[in-house]
Structure 1
Amino acid sequence: MPFQRPQDIGYGYVIERYVTKKDSDRPRYLEFGPPFLRPGWPYRERFARSLIEDAASITDAELAALFAYEWRSRLTAAWLVGVGRRTSFRERIGGLLLGSDVCYSGKGYCFALARLGTPADAKILTSYLDRYLPQTDLHYDQPEALGALLRLDAQLGTRHADRYSEPDGLWERWVQGVGSFGYTSDAPDELRRWTDLQCDFADGWSRP
């Protein structure tokens, strides 16, 4: 499906308001990574407060406009859905994750599904891993998906990830095929830890 520019449907303001907005010294979409997890990051509180406020106030129509556009807006929209636990966007996020038609945004989808935290979200992640782990020449968002699924297993008391992470399983064979791609560790426990850090960050700032 071709991208639909927000300005073409009457939502041209959403990019500046939500995506390139500066909660730090860089546009917001660049901060969805390691910096905001560091306790000493000087913009941590401002970034969190601004993100939570926008997650609560953004309308469904504005989110839809962001999801219809390119990777920066989709990544931001996914984080806003995850922080706000906007369950009505589960199906949309699942379709975008499984489609994997743009780079970089998939990590946001995995975060959102981990935050939504239900069996339906685990099902989306298993469908993704079933499709993309056997493709050992493709590096998309397999690490983030496995980390999110491991977190959901721990929360839900399920063991969906076992069949991927077992010795000589799909995860190990995928890692052997694509290499580390800059990850400090490809151990499943480390992938889950990274998901936990993101979700715990959101939990800590989102509680009343």
Structure 2
Amino acid sequence: MAAHILLLVLLSLTSTLIHAYDPSPLQDICVADLKSAVFVNGRVCKDPKLAKADDFFFEGLDKPGNTSNNVGSAVTTVFVDQMAGLNTLGISLVRIDYAPYGETSPHTHPRATEILTVLEGTLYVGFVLSNQNNNTLISKVLNKGDVFVFPIGLIHFQANIGHIPAIAIAAFNSQNPGIITIANSVFGSNPPISDKVLAKAFQVDKKVIDYLEAQFWVNP
């Protein structure tokens, strides 16, 4: 009997982990009411009778983003804020444009796994496993038509290693995957993290931290 109870508990925990992403919808559609001031985990639904085709439509993903910034990349998002009909569907995507030798700096998505497809150019991509797995780097050079997946929550990056612009499309299993850019978060937090704390953490002189904190950090 005890073995059966233990098995049920383990299955319950496994089920919880499997569904620990965006919750499954409980109705046909839940178009986000983007004007609602109510805070919920996700977005408030508007009356389904008021839904229209434009709630499930986005145009402009064919247009390149402006990559004239410090990191040489631009991300065009199609999240729930851009397509209200994505609400509760647990999916979204982005277009990423890279200038020659541009990159998306090391970052994480706390709520989603990312799968990336290269449309043009050559990218060097990778992600880093956690401390318990020796911070192993898993990396690959991708060409047009190649696909790579970045597991949820792990630090990852993409860099254009070609002398021509590159384009990729990435999809996420969340309507709002979130992004934490490592350099921005550590050196560009508001208010700043103590430079003494960071100097000790990175084992560098405090002047190095002061210099890094003084930079203009670009969100990808």
Does TM-score exceed 0.5, indicating one fold?
Answer: no
Query: TM (normalized to structure 1)?
Result: 0.27
- Greater per-residue helix proportion: 1
Query: TM (normalized to structure 2)?
Result: 0.26
- Greater per-residue strand proportion: 2
Task: Give the number of the structure whose alpha-carbon radius of gyration is greater.
Answer: 2
Q: Which has the higher contact order (CA 8 A, sep 6+)?
A: 2
